[in-house]
Amino acid sequence: MKRNERKVVVVGAGSVGTSYIYALLQTGLASEIALIDLDQQRVEGEVMDLSHGLPFIPPVSVKAGQYADCADARLIVVTAGAKQTPGQSRTELIQRNADIIKSISGQIQDQNSTAVVLMVTNPVDTLTQVALRSLALPRGKVIGSGTVLDSARFKYLLSQHCGIDARNVHAYILGEHGDSEVPAWSMTHIAGIPIREYCELCNVCDYQKHHKEIAEQVRDSAYHIIDYKGSTYYGIGLSLLRITGAILRNERSVLTVSTYLQGEYGLNDICLSVPCIVGEEGVERIVDARLEAEEQKQLEHSAQTLRHIFDQVGL
Ligand code: NAD
């Protein structure tokens, strides 16, 4: 079947899936968006609501989809997952979501799709690895949103701290999308200057103290948002849009998506985030940079944490 280069399938019609579609619709990037969820009524409602805005935006079709839609899609974004139920442990929730992702991957696989599969459901690194094992696709084509959101939070907080445009901050969070994530200070630059030098030149803050606080704020952001409003969806929606643009427009953008490592950064057989060049085929190259010794140690610890979670899933 001929691929529709501007077709996106979204699995999961919850807050994340629909916030992403709401942002995607407005860009004119996609010509066709198909939404799939177990809750058919919810899908119908979301599609009607979104469609009523179509007279105001570039032409695009939004419809209730089926797995058959994956056959000619360019990108499949998986946001489907179970919520933690009362009394359920974190490990039980991970197992439940791993089972959901195995089942969804099986249904995608049945369509012989050549689309890039972008995983979002948490724990995103572990579930990217589950999907990669279940799909007969090259490693670059099964990726996770990883720390693209965390890196955006990092850039935003640094931009606020330094009083400059967030788009002029180059900063990366590596490793797990979670508590063991690693702020890569050695890769962080403003105006082409390493951040520590920039802060010394600027000389208005106690930057060592503030850098530590910023890294902690990035790591704890999701907890605060969940405390205040239940869940996070706008930031991740725009992060997914950024990744979508890189794939649909073959931008070859450097993004910290979660990808399967085979020796890069001295790590093997684990999915986590490092800077990757993302284009039409997904991850086209992993940027295997040299980190400072302490950052490398933290990345290895993050990989061990993820290995422990992956082993619990018992594939
Ligand atoms: P939600 O509960 O609003 O939506 C989840 C949807 O998945 C529901 O509509 C549900 O019916 C559907 N679903 C469940 N099982 C399914 C199946 N087998 N097939 C198809 N659909 C199924 O949740 P949300 O707020 O949209 O979050 C979705 C996921 O994204 C969660 O796992 C959340 O933790 C994760 N998330 C990830 C990031 C990130 O940076 N990676 C950020 C925010 C949220």
93-106 pLDDT, tens per residue?
A: 899 999 999 999 99
Q: Which residues line ligand 1 (CB under 6 A)?
A: 11-17, 37-39, 42, 79-83, 100, 103-104, 120-122, 124, 145, 149, 177, 231-233, 236
Give pLDDT, residue 314: 66
Q: How close is the Cα of 215 to the center of ligand 1, in Å?
A: 26
Predicted pLDDT of residue 313: 83
Cα of 56 vs centre of ligand 1, distance in Å, is 28
Interatomic CA distance for residues 256 and 253, integer angstroms: 10
Distance 299 CA to ligand 1 centre (A): 27
Ligand 1 atom 43: residue of nearest CA? 232
| Atom of ligand 1 minimally distant from the CA of 19 | 26
The Cα–Cα gap between 299 and 238 comes to 26
Digits of tens for pLDDT over the chain (315 positions)? 899 999 999 999 999 999 999 999 999 999 999 999 999 999 999 999 999 999 999 999 999 999 999 999 999 999 999 987 777 777 788 999 999 999 999 999 999 999 999 999 999 999 999 999 999 899 999 999 999 999 999 999 999 999 999 999 999 999 999 999 999 999 999 999 999 999 998 888 888 889 999 999 999 999 899 889 999 999 999 999 999 999 999 999 999 999 999 999 999 999 999 999 999 999 999 999 999 999 999 999 999 999 999 998 866
How much is the pLDDT for 315?
A: 65
Residue 197: the pLDDT is 93
- 3-state class (DSSP) for residue 59: coil
Is 177 assigned a catalytic role? yes
User: What domains lie within the chain, and their CATH numbers?
Assistant: 7-144 (3.40.50.720), 148-313 (3.90.110.10)
Compute the distance from residue 213 Cα to the ligand 1 centre, in Å: 30
pTM for the predicted model, two decimal places: 0.97
Q: How many CA atoms does the CB half-sphere of 288 hold within 13 Å?
A: 11
* C-beta of residue 145 within 8 angstroms of C-beta of residue 77: no
Please tell me which residue in 170, 177, 224, 308 is annotated as part of the active site: 177
- CB of 120 closer than 8 Å to CB of 236: yes
Question: Ligand 1: which residue has its CA nearest to atom 41?
Answer: 120
Give pLDDT, residue 91: 79
Ligand 1, atom 39: closest residue by C-alpha: 120
